[in-house]
Structure 1
Amino acid sequence: MSATAPNVSRLHVVTGKGGTGKTSVAAALALALAGSGRRVLLVEVEGRQGIAPLFGAASLGYQERHLAAGLDGGEVFGQSVDADEALLDYLAMFYRLGSAGKVLQKTGAIDFATTIAPGLRDILLTGKLKEAVARTESGRMAYDAVVLDAPPTGRVVKFLNVTVESGRLAKTGPIGKHSRSVARMLHSSLTAVHIVTTPAAMPVQETADAYKELMAADLPVGHLVLNKVAGAKTVEVTAEEVGAGLARAGLSADAALVGGLMDEYASARAEIEAVDAYRDRLERLGRPVAELPLLPEGVDLSGLYQLARVLRPGVAGARRSAGGSDAA
């Protein structure tokens, strides 16, 4: 298995430090992936409810429902995966406890089980992701891609790797088999983990740390997404050029005005050079870097489509290599 994913696969896990905009990036990626005739499922976990407001929709539930049209006429569906509901699914699939599972839920037994065994929640959540990736309807895949708005970088490796540990502990039986199956998918070319950051010291450092952790856990890293980038490349400007420009515009090129404009230029230049430095640091990690602009008015559905158009050629446009190892 490889810890890098040169070509993005069917399960896209989007993580990042809090405040970097990972939920917006996940939503935009889902729109970008929803090409003509394609269906994409956008999933959130842990009751975050961050996706629906971006689409101007009501809060998501456990049942999948249509959210928006993709860039090229595809469809994006949304779901909020709850561990208790996922456990009911698990009991129905592996133990055929359909109605009995509902009784357990009413008595509080399911909530008790997921509370005393915190790792069980992550096993159930990642298991539900695998079910969505592998599900077929009428002879074709139910979804062409699944995008997960994942836990933040500080917790994502533990979240994704929980089935490895549970598979080792449970050597036999449905839990062990299920865990190993999910672990194979998460460590295969079917999965790509994208890390979202912003051009600032702490988020970039946390991205570098998360990248190393993912590599050490043999989890497939996809793109590094530099989000909320403002400004353009630096251009050399002198005080004389500023003065000449003011004169051509019929404005007074007095020293105070030219000096004030040069101070503004120096400040903007420093910010742009800082972004260049952060970009260079990310590129040195050896993974492709996608760059998204800062949207001054905030991110709404229109903004998501704008970000999706930027993502489409890179992150959403990548394809699996023919030699990649798949796991079902």
Structure 2
Amino acid sequence: MTTRRQGPGGAAPDGVRLHVVSGKGGTGKTTVAAALALALATGGRRVLLVEVEGRQGVAQLFDAPPLPYEERRVAVAPGGGEVLALAIDAEEALLEYLELFYRLGRAGRGLKKVGAVDFATTIAPGLRDVLLTGKAYEAVGRRDRDGRPVYDAVVMDAPPTGRVVRFLNVNSEVAGLAKVGPIRSQADSIMGLLASPRTAVHLVTLLEEMPVQETVDAVAELRAAGLPVGAVVVNMARDPRLEPAVLAAAAEGGLPRDGVAEALRAGGLEPDPAVLDALLAVGAEHAARAALEARQRERVAALDRPVLELPLLAEGVDLGALYRFAEDLAPLAGAPARAAGGGPA
């Protein structure tokens, strides 16, 4: 299947360091985030893939053990690059924050034992979002001893489209929590990254009415919040199996019964009436589905963002499929198609 690339341009803006991937549940956003990390790492680059929902979806995709709260290499990219992954835990992030800003050390661990950490992140969900996004912010800005970035890019497997704007708009989330102080300062710094050209929020959808509508709504909400919209990735895309004229006839219930029967005979099959009825029904259903997908493609194209499509794989998504998808997503990485080689860590 040929991967479509639509819209103005095909690559994310130059200088993007943080790629946020969101999508309606069930659209495959974690798969897209993992494949994008591989694409970004192609050619010798180092990329961190972070997840924030505690589902361990990244570990499952890379056939790795559950991720701890530390960065672990999960894959080697074509050309010698590498992908590291991190499951960000709000409690651990808070303890790290308390140590960084307040030097609490063991006292902070004591707070966890008495349940204070969980209590704090439960009653103040805005604080939780600051902690989760703050860890990605720290990774983007981290430098080695020579002053070079530790990671060439960071990819975040973010919450679904229905929650992603609230999750990313950390300034509004902490407005009632802290007017001044380290928390407010941290939120301002994070927002400075999230609202800048160094970030791109990519949205994953299927060619179905509800996922496309959520994508349309998310684009409008992101723009209203001043957050940079990246590309739209259409996942599990399928090409029509019938020629346009045949599709049109099937949609109108006008496929020639005699013609279908003759085609069966030519294939060495007896055109049983029940079989003919079933084939004509399947043809009409396929035509209706193709028409629906064509309408949804038009809605996605109207968003005026780069659009890439990933094919539906009958065999499902395995580790090899991630490398195939990474090639399809290479334009988002500003990179050429992947070279041969590469594999799991």
Structure-1-length-normalised TM-score:
0.87
Once the two structures are superposed, residues 2-53 of structure 1 have per-residue CA deviations (whole angstroms, 9 ceiling, x without a partner) of: xxx9626111111111111111111111111111221111111131211111
- What corresponds to 1:174 in structure 2? 182
- Using the TM superposition, give the Cα deviation of residue 109 of structure 1 relative to its aligned residue in structure 2, in angstroms: 2.3
Counterpart AA for 1:206? E
1:301 maps to 2:301 = no
- What corresponds to 1:30 in structure 2? 37
The verdict on how the C-alpha distance between 1:169 and 1:249 changes in structure 2, with shifts beyond 3 A counting, is closer
Distance in 1 between residues matched to 2:94 and 2:259, nearest whole Å: 68
1:51 maps to 2:66 = no
The verdict on how the C-alpha distance between 1:212 and 1:233 changes in structure 2, with shifts beyond 3 A counting, is farther
1:125 maps to 2:132 = yes
1:39 maps to 2:57 = no
User: 231, 240, 248: which is aligned to 1:223?
Assistant: 231
1:103 maps to 2:120 = no
- Using the TM superposition, give the Cα deviation of residue 171 of structure 1 relative to its aligned residue in structure 2, in angstroms: 4.4
- What corresponds to 2:193 in structure 1? 185
Kindly indicate whether the alpha-carbon contact (under 8 Å) linking 1:133 and 1:146 is maintained by their aligned counterparts in 2: yes
Distance in 1 between residues matched to 2:168 and 2:308, nearest whole Å: 23
Corresponding residue SS for 1:193: strand
The verdict on how the C-alpha distance between 1:233 and 1:183 changes in structure 2, with shifts beyond 3 A counting, is farther
Aligned length: 314
Counterpart AA for 1:285? L
Kindly indicate whether the alpha-carbon contact (under 8 Å) linking 1:16 and 1:195 is maintained by their aligned counterparts in 2: yes
Counterpart AA for 1:315? L
Structure-2-length-normalised TM-score:
0.83
Corresponding residue SS for 1:307: helix
- Using the TM superposition, give the Cα deviation of residue 273 of structure 1 relative to its aligned residue in structure 2, in angstroms: 2.3
C-alpha RMSD of matched pairs (Å): 2.6
Distance in 2 between residues matched to 1:72 and 1:280, nearest whole Å: 36
- Using the TM superposition, give the Cα deviation of residue 187 of structure 1 relative to its aligned residue in structure 2, in angstroms: 0.3
- Unmatched runs of 5 consecutive residues or more in structure 1: 320-328
Distance in 1 between residues matched to 2:266 and 2:334, nearest whole Å: 46
- What corresponds to 2:289 in structure 1? 271
- What corresponds to 1:323 in structure 2? none
- Using the TM superposition, give the Cα deviation of residue 234 of structure 1 relative to its aligned residue in structure 2, in angstroms: 5.1
User: 84, 107, 113: which is aligned to 2:91?
Assistant: 84
Corresponding residue SS for 2:334: coil
Distance in 1 between residues matched to 2:167 and 2:128, nearest whole Å: 9
Kindly indicate whether the alpha-carbon contact (under 8 Å) linking 2:166 and 2:173 is maintained by their aligned counterparts in 1: no
Report the more deviating stretch, 246-255 or 223-232.
246-255
- What corresponds to 1:322 in structure 2? none
- What corresponds to 1:316 in structure 2? 333
Counterpart AA for 1:126? T
Corresponding residue SS for 1:67: strand
Report the more deviating stretch, 223-232 or 124-133.
223-232
- Using the TM superposition, give the Cα deviation of residue 249 of structure 1 relative to its aligned residue in structure 2, in angstroms: 5.2
- What corresponds to 1:141 in structure 2? 149
- Using the TM superposition, give the Cα deviation of residue 170 of structure 1 relative to its aligned residue in structure 2, in angstroms: 3.9
- Unmatched runs of 5 consecutive residues or more in structure 2: 1-10, 247-254, 337-345
Report the more deviating stretch, 249-258 or 77-86.
249-258
- What corresponds to 1:7 in structure 2? 13
Distance in 1 between residues matched to 2:138 and 2:300, nearest whole Å: 33
- Using the TM superposition, give the Cα deviation of residue 106 of structure 1 relative to its aligned residue in structure 2, in angstroms: 2.5
Equivalent residues in 2 for 1:279-290 (5 A)? Answer: 279-290=297-308
- Using the TM superposition, give the Cα deviation of residue 190 of structure 1 relative to its aligned residue in structure 2, in angstroms: 0.9
User: 152, 156, 161: which is aligned to 1:153?
Assistant: 161
Report the more deviating stretch, 239-248 or 145-154.
239-248
Kindly indicate whether the alpha-carbon contact (under 8 Å) linking 2:121 and 2:128 is maintained by their aligned counterparts in 1: yes
Kindly indicate whether the alpha-carbon contact (under 8 Å) linking 1:167 and 1:175 is maintained by their aligned counterparts in 2: no
Counterpart AA for 1:228? M
Distance in 2 between residues matched to 1:247 and 1:111, nearest whole Å: 69
